[in-house]
Amino acid sequence: MMNLLRKITHSFSYTFMILFRKSVKSLAIILSVATFAVLICLMEFTIQKQESLLSDMYEQFKINLVIMDKSASYADDLKMNRKYASVFMDKENILFENLDNLRIRSKGEENIVVTDEDGDYITSLNVIGLTYLPDQSEFNVSADIWQDYDNSMLMSNENVCIIPSGISSIGSYIYIKTEKIEESVEYLVIGTYEQEESIFFCPYLNYDESIAVSSNNIYSIESDISNTRAINDIGIFLLRYFIEPSIAGVTPVGTNDLGLMYAFSFVIPKGNLEEAIDPIKADIKKLQILEPFIFVFSAAIGFVISMLSIKNRKAEFAVMRSMGASGGYVFYISFVEQAILCIIGTMLGTLISWIVFNQLSPTQINKIAIFITCYLFGTAIEAIRIACIKVMKIMKANE
Amino acid sequence: MEYSFKSFYRTPARSIIYIILLALTATSLCTSIAMWRYSVESIKEVRDTFTTIGVLTELEFTEQSYVKSDPPLYDYSMLAAVKKRAIESAYAVSADIREYVMGYNENIYADVKHGTEVETYPYCMSIVTGICESIEFTSSLNYKAILRIDYSDLNIIPRHVNRYAEPQLIRINGIYITGDNKSPFKVGEKYMVYAMCLSYDTEYEYINAYIDKSVNESYKYEEIVKYDSTTMKEEFGEFGDNKVFYKLNNPSLYMMQKIDTTAYAFIENEKGLWAERVERCSITQHSAELILTSWINSIYMFNTNEAYIVEGRNITNEEFENGVNVCIVSSSFAANNKLKIGDKLAFKVYEHDFRILSSTIRKTDSEPGVMRSLEGKDRLDVWLSKGFDPINGFFIEIEYEIVGAYTQENRINRNEFTFTNNAIFVPQKSIEGNFNTQPTVHTISRYTDELIRTELVRTSVPGSFSVIIKNGYIDAFEKEMEEAGYGGIFYYFDQGYSKVSKILDEYSDISMLIALISILVWITVVAVFVTTYISRSRRDVAIMRSLGTSKSKTYISQLVTIILIALIAAVICSIAGIAVYSKITAMAFADITQGSNTVMSLESIIDRSRNTVIMAAIIQFFITVMSFAVILLLQIKKNVIILMMKAKKQ
């Protein structure tokens, strides 16, 4: 044990003596390793930063999704089957988590009769089922909404409604009769409007279930895309039910996943999203692809620098061997020397990176560790080679 | 030289190690520099995908048609000066001054939705022949006459009316009685009518048509006629007293013609006004609006993504610059005319005058219960083509290839920045000439003590002007305009560039770091190489000098060796660098949509960046050799004894 300890301390003192004696060369190697360490930290930092910037870029683009006829000529009065609503309102699929502000509405072809509690006639109203609050631009109504309202009310099939203020007030109940249901049904008034329109607004699902006469009752479907990164995946998903616009009206043979003919197209007006994002995505991907090459380079350069450093000292190691040092000890001395240089250089590079970039993520530390491993691997190869060469051959070697 | 080659071959292992060391670091450097070059170019490309425009609304400079309109914000005489100043701005890239002509093709139908005059004019102008079945004078000035259409005779009815059914009846709403104070239509008589067919009423199964509305200058020829009750009974049936009628004293403005034979025969004999009207209708109903532009994204609706390409592609920069005969059409126009991407459309092109119509803005924010239009804020002038003018005829025939189809958000109200689905966009340089140069006479009416009509001359078409501004320089441009006294006139749209600009700047800075650090790595490794090699060669130099070799020979022999090593390393670096860069690029681009504009523009960047690899390899070769040459020179100049002592120490 003491012998081992003595050998270790001796080897370290010998190593440091050599390093100080060849200070210029040692410094050159330390600086090389340090710059490689900085490069690796920087690459990792750059990739993370670029990914973050790319996410910021995506967020700047507000993209929406519009369902249109086959040729993308119009987006309303589509007379779509009710089944399409289930595609957009299914909480299990990709659309639900990546779309926002879904706007499905019916045309307004049905009428309902508003009655009192006893079923006596009050007035008739035109019905529109929808999943969003009606507004001035589309319906010419400016509705006051219940303070407890939330978006899920119109996305559900609850018996809630928005009606002219002259009929009832917010928070009260009204009764309606429809062609489908003879008895009066109670609805909670969640909103009223002052304008002269005579429209009864209710959730689309509620309309579809209780009031709609036809199954092809969807007038229009639109939505905002909350996660712009998922546009391609959304497009792939929608191809199961819709086509991409075709002015020639070309549709796939057969039916879509709903068992219906392909009669509608989806349009995602991306603007200049692809032109803006694709070059950056490609750039980031290049950097990610380049990283392994850098590790390979670092291993190779570690090997080469070690070789250059050790090669000049063959005679020194030959003398050590001839004086009784084992091959293993020679390996150990030469490896430790390069390892110390590598570790000092890496620590220096890491410190510089930390100071400059003000961060040192676990990923960067992992990459540094991989770099050290690769570098020492290269060093080990050369050290083994030196340790295995015949002493006499070195002594006789003609430089 | 011989010594140099021998020393190279004598120690192959060491030479190869040096070559590998230099080649590896140089490859790493060249690849990094190429990638940095790509980053720079691609960020520039990304910036160039945004188009910043400044538009002004000419309606803020003009008196509007509606009698209670607010006065304009600016004087019309300022308009030309404002545009000129904008074009001359240091921050303006160019200006897009769009021109409007029309193209006739007998195989196409104008794409029009039925509805109002604003939505259908001039394509609603029709020739209808039929026998009057009834006429009714309403309590207002108008009358409604129903004619049964005679399909055996001449009829030019627009497709938006007869697309789904062959209408049998037409209900004509008119104003004027005849010049001889007679009812415009008599039951049982046959008429040829030059009417504005707006829509088809599916409930009552008749065409809704108007006459007299399209006559702009009718006020100049109007006379008021007041009948007594006896005459009223004789002429028009039971009607109250004090009924006022209007008539026109200019026969060329009459929109109906009683005919005793056929319309064909009548026109054959007449060969005048009605022949012109027939030609005007038949050409116009088969016409599309050709909008000549120099850049699609300079158009407001495309810039703000309210209009967008849904199939095919947009017109490219090169096609605009070279005036290539390509076009983009609306998807609705294409579908209705059974066109597809790649089809060719031949047009006979003609210029047209404009008709200025006051359009009601629907769905306003008016107070409930308040009548619209009281304040004049919900009516807006819309400029519409007057259609084909037989007197001017066609001026060119041209064929365009359809490269893309666009659609647009459903806009309830038209304004100077909107366009119809009948608009086809073509490169401005594809048709030579200056168009829309004829001033448009705009007649406005205002009440003082009585109704006063004024004719104003307009020299430009609203919505036709955009100035393309350098991205990121909106504030600077506006400041320049303010200094010229034109502040607050322009409205700016930049496709979100202002939001992404900072992100791109940060991205650019980050990319540069990689290149700098790569250079630093290369410098360090080369320094290691030089240090090692110099220390190795010190002994050789010392021996050569001590044996009497001159400094120059010693220097050259050592230098040639290093040049050889560096040259081989540079060649390997170039080949490996290009291979690595190409491989990385191919892998990185695997996800990008093939055939898109993105790929085409990026391919040119990739080619330029690939050349950077070779340039970087050459430059690093020279720098390596030069640095070694300098250090070697310093070594050679040293005293031989000192050299020997240093060599011995090693």
Backbone angles phi, psi at A234, to 5 degrees: -65, -45
Per-residue pLDDT at B242:
65
Per-residue pLDDT at A364:
84
Comparison of pLDDT for B610 and A355, the residue scoring more: A355
Residue indicated by tokens 């080990």: A380
A115 close contact with B: CB closer than 8 A? no
CB contact under 8 A, B46 and A279: yes
Give dist(CA B433, CA B134) in Å, integer.
Answer: 50
Please report, for residues A236, A312, A336, A345, A373, the alpha-carbon distance to residue A339 in angstroms, rounded to integers and kept in the order given.
52, 18, 5, 10, 10
Tell me what the pLDDT averaged over chain B comes to.
86
CB B380 within 8 A of CB B415: yes
pLDDT per position as a tens digit, A187-241 = 999 999 988 788 999 999 999 998 999 999 999 999 999 999 999 999 999 999 9
Give dist(CA B311, CA B383) in Å, integer.
Answer: 29
Chain B residues 476-505 within an 8 A CB cutoff of chain A: 495-496, 499-500, 503
Q: Which of B586, B615, B619, B616 is nearest to B602 (CA)?
A: B586
pLDDT per position as a tens digit, B190-209 = 999 999 999 999 888 999 99
Give the mean model confidence (pLDDT) for residues B571-600.
74
A23 burial class (0-12, 13-18, 19+ CB within 10 angstroms)?
exposed
CB contact under 8 A, A287 and B499: no
Strands (E), B110-211: 125-137, 143-149, 169-174, 176-177, 190-201, 206-210
Judge whether residue B594 has pLDDT over 60: no
Contact residues on chain A for B363, CB-CB shorter than 8 A: 136-138, 140
Chain A residues 250-279 within an 8 A CB cutoff of chain B: 265, 267, 269-272, 274-276, 278-279
Q: Give the rounded distance of the alpha carbon of A67 from its chain centre.
A: 25
Q: pLDDT band for B372, please (50, 70, 90 cuts).
A: very low
DSSP letters of B56-79? Answer: --GGGTS--SSTTPPPPSS-GGGH
**From B21, B305, B520, residue closest to A35, measured CB to CB:** B520
Is residue A381 helix, strand or coil?
Answer: helix
C-alpha distance from A392 to closest chain B C-alpha (Å)? 19
C-alpha distance from B424 to closest chain A C-alpha (Å)? 15
Judge whether residue B159 has pLDDT over 60: yes
**From A75, A247, A282, residue closest to B339, measured CB to CB:** A247
- A22, A30, A35, A278: which to substitute to probe chain B, counting the most B Cβ within 10 Å? A278
Judge whether residue B574 has pLDDT over 80: yes
Judge whether residue B367 has pLDDT over 60: no
Rounded to the nearest 5 degrees, what angle is found at the Cα of B210, between the Cα atoms of B209 and B214?
A: 135
B149 burial class (0-12, 13-18, 19+ CB within 10 angstroms)?
buried
Judge whether residue B562 has pLDDT over 50: yes
Judge whether residue B441 has pLDDT over 50: yes
Structure tokens at B499: 């939001």
Query: Where do runs of H (alpha helix) occur along chain A?
Result: 2-21, 23-60, 83-89, 94-98, 136-139, 152-155, 204-210, 231-238, 273-311, 314-322, 327-357, 362-388, 391-396
Give dist(CA A187, CA A174) in Å, integer.
Answer: 5
Torsion of CA B326, B332, B338, B340, to 10 degrees: 40
Judge whether residue B596 has pLDDT over 70: no
Q: Give the rounded distance of the alpha carbon of A317 from its chain centre.
A: 55
Contact residues on chain B for A283, CB-CB shorter than 8 A: 35, 38-39, 42, 511, 588
CB contact under 8 A, B517 and A249: no
Q: Which of A312, A294, A301, A309 is nearest to A375 (CA)?
A: A301
Q: pLDDT band for B373, please (50, 70, 90 cuts).
A: very low
Give dist(CA B136, CA B236) in Å, integer.
Answer: 8
Structure tokens at A109: 């072809």
- The percent of residues in chain B predicted with pLDDT above 70, rounded, is 91
Comparison of pLDDT for B141 and A196, the residue scoring more: A196
CB contact under 8 A, A304 and B24: yes
B40 close contact with A: CB closer than 8 A? no
Per-residue pLDDT at B363:
55
Chain B residues 216-255 within an 8 A CB cutoff of chain A: none
Q: pLDDT band for B609, please (50, 70, 90 cuts).
A: confident
**From B405, B496, B589, residue closest to A61, measured CB to CB:** B496
Residues 6 or more apart in contact with residue B132 via CB below 8 angstroms? B145, B146, B147, B185, B186, B187, B188, B189, B190, B191
Contact residues on chain A for B308, CB-CB shorter than 8 A: 267, 269-271
Structure tokens at B588: 């990185």
Judge whether residue B370 has pLDDT over 60: no
CB A215 within 8 A of CB A85: no
Give the mean model confidence (pLDDT) for residues B262-286.
92
Give the DSSP letter of residue A82. T
| Pairing verdict, β B287-293 and B423-427 | parallel
Q: pLDDT band for B528, please (50, 70, 90 cuts).
A: confident
User: Greatest CA separation found in chain A?
Assistant: 120
CB contact under 8 A, B24 and A300: yes
Strands (E), B175-302: 176-177, 190-201, 206-210, 222-226, 244-248, 256-258, 287-293
Structure tokens at B62: 């003009």
Per-residue pLDDT at B76:
93
Is residue A126 helix, strand or coil?
Answer: strand
Least confident interval from B224-233, B368-377, B380-389: B368-377
Residue indicated by tokens 């092109």: B349
Judge whether residue B595 has pLDDT over 50: no
Chain B residues 583-612 within an 8 A CB cutoff of chain A: 584-585, 587-589, 591-593, 596-598, 601-602, 605
Contact residues on chain A for B340, CB-CB shorter than 8 A: 247-248
B15 close contact with A: CB closer than 8 A? no
Judge whether residue B650 has pLDDT over 70: no
Give dist(CA B192, CA B150) in Å, integer.
Answer: 10
Contact residues on chain A for B34, CB-CB shorter than 8 A: none
Query: Where do runs of H (alpha helix) occur along B49-130?
Result: 79-88, 117-120
Give dist(CA B124, CA A312) in Å, integer.
Answer: 96
B168 close contact with A: CB closer than 8 A? no
Q: What is the rounded end-to-end Cα distance, in angstroms, of chain B? A: 26
Per-residue pLDDT at B591:
61
Give dist(CA A199, CA A126) in Å, integer.
Answer: 5
Give dist(CA B521, CA B257) in Å, integer.
Answer: 92
Comparison of pLDDT for A392 and B298, the residue scoring more: B298
CB contact under 8 A, B589 and A294: no
Instruction: List the domain boundaries for chain A.
Output: 2-55+277-398, 63-272
CB contact under 8 A, B363 and A137: yes
Give the mean model confidence (pLDDT) for residues A297-314.
71
Give the mean model confidence (pLDDT) for residues B474-491.
95
B619 close contact with A: CB closer than 8 A? no
Residue indicated by tokens 């994002």: A277
Q: Which of A302, A326, A300, A297 is nearest to A386 (CA)?
A: A326
Comparison of pLDDT for B639 and B47, the residue scoring more: B47
Sheet holding B465-469, edge to edge: B92-97, B465-469, B52-55, B491-493
CB contact under 8 A, B513 and A278: no
CB contact under 8 A, B495 and A282: no
Residue of B nearest to A70 (CA): B335
Q: Is the peptide bond before B122 cis (omega within 30 degrees of 0)?
A: yes
Comparison of pLDDT for A250 and B233, the residue scoring more: A250
CB contact under 8 A, B311 and A245: yes
